[in-house]
Amino acid sequence: MNRINILNKKKIYVIIMFVLFISLGLGYAYLSSSLAFNGKVTVKKDKTIYNLMARNSTLDTGIDFSSPSITAGIYEMDSTKDNTNPVYYYRGEVTNNNVKFANFCWKIVRTTETGGVKLIYNGTPAADGSCNNTGEASQAGKSLYNAPGPIITQNGYMYYGKANSITSRPIANSESIGVIYGNSASYTGAGGYTLSDTFTSTNGWATDYATIGSKYHYTCHSTSDNCNPVYYMIYVLNAGGTLYSYEIPLENGQPLLTLQNMVKGDTYTQDTSSTIKKFLDEWYLEFLNNYTDQLEDAIWYNDRSIFSYGGFDKDTPNSMNMGTASLKFNGYNRNNTTYSPNLEYVNNTDKFTVSTENGNGLLTYPVGLITADEATLAGNGVNGDSSSYLTTGSNFWTNTPFQISSSLNNYIVTNNGKLSSSPVSSFQYGVRPMLSLKAGTKYTSGDGTATSPYIVE
């Protein structure tokens, strides 16, 4: 009897030890499924793309975005580190940011402020399921950014279709002697426009252009102060020894709708889609419309905020500089001057979204283009590295305006992986649609390489 009790006690002991072992094992497994990163919260090792990037990221303090030397990896934006959802982005020659979603190949660019993940189109999968496209195979097609038309309107992903057009006029110095210029012009009905606060050129352009450019931008191009149309002179350009006045003709009471009052939101309605937006909308409707529920309504930014007006603002002293005037957008300042790319959204009118809750609500579909700032973060700035993951060997458009002079230029990523600029209505370049997966999106398999992309179902 005692021997049986001893055996039973041994069995009970073994069972207890076994249960403890299993419990400890499960506890260890649970603990090992979490990881503290950057000294912040503990993140569970689930298969969300956002958490995968967070676990493998490095703070981006110390990165010199002006340098052609690109270090590859996943980086956390220092300016967002205290946000609820810090932004993480891939940079340089990374090979593990490939995704297969909606029967297409994509590259992960970055996460969003709401925890989503932005992807850029990278072609269709090969027969073996790999995603290793380059050149035109990485594009959904080619397009102008916008069709030829008034320069003022062409800078918009969407724009006001009735904005003033800009024309050019050759000006001889002798012909400008005695011509009257005004600081403003008022429409008087059948009598046309009358100039006020006037200046009369007594020496011609060679001597008087600085005075005229300081504030006297309206003229009849004659010795009269009354005419219809009247002309608003933006700047004067020296082309091959001939001076050209770039100007806006106003007639029959037409208001002056220039770029600066559009940017400031005055008398500004975005009622017309650009050529490239039409391309993206048609492409999305054909291929991605059934996947909309898996996408977030991310912001697709078309930053038209202005860094320097040049001759485009009559209230800027000495703005009409002969031969040098050009309007620069803030994208130029960040990517070409200070080398400080950021993801801040200054103008609500330029935050293209489907809903008005987080932007302008003008989009039909949640699809857009990469910005110049995102390209610089990726390693494809003006001094970019041809080995960076965005480089495909073929030019493609960004959604960031560069400058206006005699034409509007937008940023492009060139075939050798550097940011450059090109007139929006002169060349057809590659279109690489972008979309943003909802926060919490998981991948079911893969390691992110071209031969084994992350699978998002």
**C-alpha–C-alpha distance, residues 371 and 109, integer Å:** 11
Cβ atoms 195, 181 nearer than 8 A: yes
Q: Is 40 left (phi over 0), alpha (psi -120 to 50) or beta?
A: beta
Number of Cβ within 10 Å of residue 16's Cβ equals 10
Cβ atoms 107, 98 nearer than 8 A: yes
**C-alpha–C-alpha distance, residues 158 and 149, integer Å:** 13
**C-alpha–C-alpha distance, residues 436 and 374, integer Å:** 14
Amino acid at 325: A
Strand-pair category, 158-159 with 272-273: antiparallel
Residue 449 burial (10 A CB sphere; 0-12, 13-18, 19+) = middle
Sequence-separated (6 or more) residues with CB below 8 Å from residue 150: 163, 164, 165, 166
pLDDT (tens place) for every residue of the chain, 457 residues total: 444 444 454 554 544 444 444 444 444 333 333 333 343 433 445 799 999 999 999 999 989 999 987 889 999 999 999 999 999 999 999 999 999 999 999 999 999 999 999 999 999 999 999 999 999 999 999 999 998 865 666 668 998 777 777 788 888 877 789 999 999 999 988 889 999 999 999 998 778 877 887 788 899 999 999 999 999 887 777 667 777 888 889 989 887 766 555 555 444 578 889 999 999 999 999 999 999 999 999 999 999 888 887 766 656 554 455 445 677 899 999 999 999 999 999 888 899 999 999 999 999 999 999 999 999 999 999 999 899 999 999 999 999 999 887 678 999 999 999 999 999 999 999 999 999 999 999 999 999 999 999 999 9
Strands (E) located in 155-314: 158-159, 167-171, 180-187, 193-200, 218-219, 226-227, 230-239, 242-250, 272-273, 300-301, 306-308
Judged by DSSP in three states, 94 sits in coil
The sign one gets for the Cα dihedral 126, 130, 133, 137 is positive
Q: In the prediction, which pLDDT does 152 show?
A: 61
Amino acid at 400: T
HSE of 124, CA atoms in CB hemisphere, 13 A = 6
**C-alpha–C-alpha distance, residues 412 and 430, integer Å:** 9
**C-alpha–C-alpha distance, residues 132 and 94, integer Å:** 13
Cβ atoms 99, 434 nearer than 8 A: no
Judged by DSSP in three states, 362 sits in coil
pTM confidence score: 0.82
Q: In the prediction, which pLDDT does 216 show?
A: 87
**C-alpha–C-alpha distance, residues 262 and 219, integer Å:** 23
Render 309-339 in DSSP notation, one character per residue.
-GGG-TTSTT---TTT--EEEHHHIIIIIS-
Cβ atoms 89, 74 nearer than 8 A: yes
Cβ atoms 326, 309 nearer than 8 A: no
What does residue 175 show for φ and ψ, rounded to 5 degrees?
-70, -20
Helix and strand numbers, DSSP H then E, in the chain: 8, 28
Strand-pair category, 408-413 with 88-91: unpaired
**C-alpha–C-alpha distance, residues 90 and 373, integer Å:** 13
**C-alpha–C-alpha distance, residues 84 and 445, integer Å:** 27
Cβ atoms 375, 421 nearer than 8 A: no
